[in-house]
A and B are shown apart, each in its own frame.
Chain A
Amino acid sequence: MSPTNNLSILESIAGDVQLAALVGGQVVPIIIGTVTAVKVLLQGETIEYTVALSTGADRLDSAATNFQRAIDLINAERTVAGLPPLEPLPTTPVVPPEG
């Protein structure tokens, strides 16, 4: 496989290893036969309380924006098809999971 293809594959999986980056992991490319994959090396992370709170809040705002955008896209498709928007979920649907 050419270096160009390797780069392409790494780029394609960048989103999938984003979680590792978010929680402090280091991504290392590895070669298995002709396939390039990644290994995530994890390390401890120390963060100051106020930074943790502000960073976490920013992440949640961004997540909420993403989820809402997906809902909007789906509702747009439903409108085109003559369907009503998605019904809101109950606000307290949660029950503890069971094994």
Chain B
Amino acid sequence: MDSKMVLRRKAWVVLFCLVVFTFQTVACHKVTVTGAPPGVVAPEVAAWYQATGAVKTWSDASLGLTQSAINLKAEFPSADVYQKTLAALGKENQLGLQTAEYLKTVPQHFGNTEQIKLAGYLDQGLATLDDATQVGLLQIKNADEKAVVSAAVASLRASLKVIFALVKPAGTPVPASLSGGN
């Protein structure tokens, strides 16, 4: 099997498993927090705890995607496209950083208001990721490298969708940026 075929296969495997685990994770998992002190709502702590895990995964995927884009500098059609792509990824990472800092402040009170605010961060994070994709990631010249980067983008999108599903208050519609495919 040549290396290009292996790369393509890896990309499709990643995409496939993302579809599988994204929906199962959202639909089935339940965290129960015990021993919460008076005045603290255990399900809110559970939702916060799950969100921290998903944000950690978001950060791993985001750092990986950023490193990949930088490693593929020569594959962008121009220096301008490269820098615009990095700028969009930079904004996405800045939003991620704000999200992590925000979550640090609400471990014991992660109710409807806080969840809506977090959903707003996720919505903007998705929007900036889409910017990076449209501005430059889809223009990477090498098809195999582009497939790998696309898989990384899908991973990132999946993380953001999972966080949103974990935290969205009941009845909250899924924003357009989160309702697309992987």
Contacts and interface: CB of A to CB of B under 8 A. Distances in A.
Contacts of A7: none
A89 B120 CA distance: 14
Contacts of B28: 42
Interface centre among B94, B108, B176, B178 (most CB of A within 10 A): B94
B147 interface: no
Interface in A35-60: 35-50, 52-53, 55-57, 59-60
Given A19-B53, A22-B53, A37 B33 contact: no
A77 to B, nearest CB: 6
A70 B66 contact: yes
Contacts of B119: 96-97
A94 to B, nearest CB: 3
A86 B63 contact: no
Contacts of B58: 63
Contact of B93 (A57, A59, A71): A71
B142 interface: no
Contacts of B138: none
Contacts of B30: 44-45
Interface string A1-43: 1000100110011011111101111000000100111111111
Contact of B60 (A18, A39, A95): A18
A3 B86 CA distance: 38
A9 B83 CA distance: 32
A70 to B, nearest CB: 4
Contacts of A78: 83, 86
6 contacts: A16-B18, A16-B151, A36-B13, A63-B55, A63-B59, A77-B86
Interface of B: 1, 6, 9-10, 12-14, 16-18, 20-21, 24-25, 28-37, 40, 42, 45-46, 48-50, 52-64, 66-67, 70, 73, 79, 83, 86-87, 89-91, 93-98, 100-101, 103-104, 107-108, 116-117, 119-124, 151, 155, 158-159, 162, 172-178
